[in-house]
């Protein structure tokens, strides 16, 4: 099924993003990246729920998500080499936990 392959691709990207974000940005850069990351994770969870429910209209969301992922990945590369403070790391872990819980429900 194509939709399952696309879902796996999205999940893989988010997992790779979680590994990469740890070394990105200065304080302000990281806050903005975390805002975007949380937004993308939230939208991915909505997408995954639609796919799980068999909503064929979910495929139209994939193009928008893909564009957001690409933009996010570029911003992470641009901010590479600077770390997160404790509050940012805590927020990142909360976002990651939210995503992991959604994956477990799939």
pLDDT tens digits along 57-66: 887 888 888 8
Q: How far apart are CA 71 and CA 18, in angstroms?
A: 15
Residue 54 DSSP class: T
How many structural domains are present in the chain? 1
Rounded to the nearest integer, the mean pLDDT of the chain is 77
54: in domain: yes
Instruction: Name, in order, each residue with C-beta under 8 angstroms of 84's C-beta and a sequence gap of 6 or more.
Output: 22, 24, 25, 30, 92
Question: Which residues are CB-neighbours of 70 under 8 A, at least 6 positions away?
Answer: none
Mean pLDDT is lowest, of 12-21, 45-54, 59-68, for: 12-21
Q: Which domain holds residue 74?
A: 2-8+25-105
Question: Does residue 19 sit within a domain?
Answer: no
If you count DSSP H runs as helices and E runs as strands, how many of each does the chain have, helices first?
Answer: 4, 0
CB 72 within 8 A of CB 36: yes
pTM: 0.72
72-97: per-residue pLDDT in tens? 878 777 766 667 788 988 998 899 88
Model confidence at 71, pLDDT cuts 50, 70, 90, reads confident
Q: Which residue has the tokens 């893989």?
A: 12
Beta strands in the chain (DSSP E): none
DSSP 24: B
Residue 29 has pLDDT above 70, yes or no: yes
- Confidence class for position 42, pLDDT limits 50, 70, 90: very high
């Amino acid at each position: 099924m194509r939709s399952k392959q696309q879902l796996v691709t999205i999940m893989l990207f988010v997992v790779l993003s979680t590994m990469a974000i740890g070394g990105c940005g200065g304080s302000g850069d990281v806050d903005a990246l975390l805002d975007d990351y949380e937004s993308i994770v939230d939208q991915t969870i909505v997408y995954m729920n639609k796919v799980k429910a068999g909503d064929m209209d979910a495929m139209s969301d994939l193009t928008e998500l893909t564009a957001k992922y690409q933009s996010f990945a570029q911003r992470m590369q641009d901010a590479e080499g600077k770390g997160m403070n404790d509050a940012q790391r805590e927020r990142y872990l909360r976002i990651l936990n939210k995503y992991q819980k959604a994956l477990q429900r799939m």
